[in-house]
Amino acid sequence: MLESWKDGPTKSAIVDFVGRAVTDVPADERVAVFDNDGTLWCEKPAYVQLDFLIRLLAEQAAADPSLAENQPYKAAAAGDLTWFGDAVTKHYQGDDSQLKALAAGILSANTAITTEEHAARVRAFFAEAEHPTLGRPYTACGYAPMVELLRYLEANGFTNYIVSGGGRDFMRPVTAALYGIPPERVIGSSVGLIYADGDLRTTTQPEFLNDGPIKPVRIWGRTGRRPILAAGNSNGDIEMLEYARHGAHPSLQLLVRHDDAVREFDYTAGAEKALELATTTGWTVTSIRDDWATVFA
């Protein structure tokens, strides 16, 4: 049980909460929600999905050199991960100046293909892509302690969902193998789809940016439940953790702190508000350095 978690206050808080939930909460109301990037798998030096998208944007820039004069194609063609990482970090700090250009590029990268074609692109990416600094496939970048937590919760009657700012249809092809979470329990950002000639096809119209205050709305819309456990790692998860905290049942809010530069990464950018709130709200902060005996399986 939770073998990759070191004995200490964090592990005890999890075990104590689950014990109370089993006693006090009906099984159909034991709902747990997990952010993905930085919570279930590694998100630095850039989101995994950004690597996937950068490759597509670079291909587009190579086919049409005029695109390479503008962002995000310019950064993609140069392999500049820093620009993409900065765009996301600035978003979590309230500055969307770069995110707008990034979003426009993302929306154009997979346009007018079927959902099956998109899933095939995603699977092909994961079949060969590796993390740029950790020297392991992206499929081996899931956090072993968090996967153990998913299994522990399932064994105690919980239903687990992924609730991420990442693309719903980017995660769905791999979440069952990585986390044991089927595609119907993946809630993420999405583009509009249209039905034509027996297929669903992507459009350039955004549907949901599943981040911040949108997360609780989407959780309710998809599950009809208020979660009693929520896990995240950034400012974009604040509202989701608060939503779990304000219910009638016992609850647990878990915030992953990235503070292990040797085994993973050490950073707080984009999580400053969440970490500050954790000290005043009673959220459980999980230190990768201090609480995890193993980071990756």
pLDDT in tens, 218-236: 999 999 999 999 999 999 9
Placement of tokens 């993390």 in the chain: 131
Tokens of residue 168, six digits: 């719903």
For residue 258, the one-letter residue type is: H
Tokens of residue 238, six digits: 């604040």
Tokens of residue 253, six digits: 């809010």
In whole angstroms, give the CA distance from residue 13 to residue 15: 6
What pLDDT score does 63 carry?
84
| Residue 295 DSSP symbol | S
> What residue ranges of the chain have pLDDT lower than 70?
none
Domain ranges of the chain: 9-42+142-291, 48-109
What pLDDT score does 99 carry?
79
For residue 41, the one-letter residue type is: W
What pLDDT score does 6 carry?
98
In whole angstroms, give the CA distance from residue 276 to residue 281: 9
Angle at 212 between CA 279 and CA 58, to 5 degrees: 120
Assigned CATH class of 9-42+142-291: alpha beta
In whole angstroms, give the CA distance from residue 82 to residue 46: 8
What pLDDT score does 106 carry?
74
Placement of tokens 């970490």 in the chain: 275
DSSP 126-159: HHH-B-TTT-SBGGG-BBHHHHHHHHHHHHTT-E
What pLDDT score does 89 carry?
79
| Residue 261 DSSP symbol | T
What pLDDT score does 187 carry?
98
- Residue 122 contacts residue 174 (beta carbons within 8 Å): yes
The phi, psi pair for 196, rounded to 5°, reads -155, 130
> Which residues neighbour 156 within 8 Å (Cβ) at sequence distance 6 or greater?
18, 21, 22, 30
